[in-house]
Homo-oligomer: A and B are copies of this chain.
Amino acid sequence: MNLPHETPVLSLFVSHDEKQLASDLALAVVRLARQLRGHRQHSAVSLTQLSALSTLFSEGPMTPGALAARERVQPPSMTRVIGSLADVGLVDRMPHPSDGRQIIVSLSEAGKALVQNEKDAREAWLAAQLRNLRSAELTSLREAVDTMTELMKTCD
Contact = CB atoms under 8 A, between A and B. Distances in A.
B142 A154 contact: no
B137 A21 contact: no
Contacts of A141: 21, 25, 144, 147-148
Nearest to A144: B144
A9 interface: no
Interface in A8-23: 15, 17-23
A126 B22 contact: yes
Contacts of A129: 151, 154-155
Nearest to A77: B34
Main SS of the interface on chain A?
Answer: helix
A136 to B, nearest CB: 8
A102 interface: no
A47 B30 contact: yes
B35 A127 contact: no
7 contacts: A31-B72, A33-B33, A34-B73, A132-B154, A136-B143, A141-B147, A144-B144
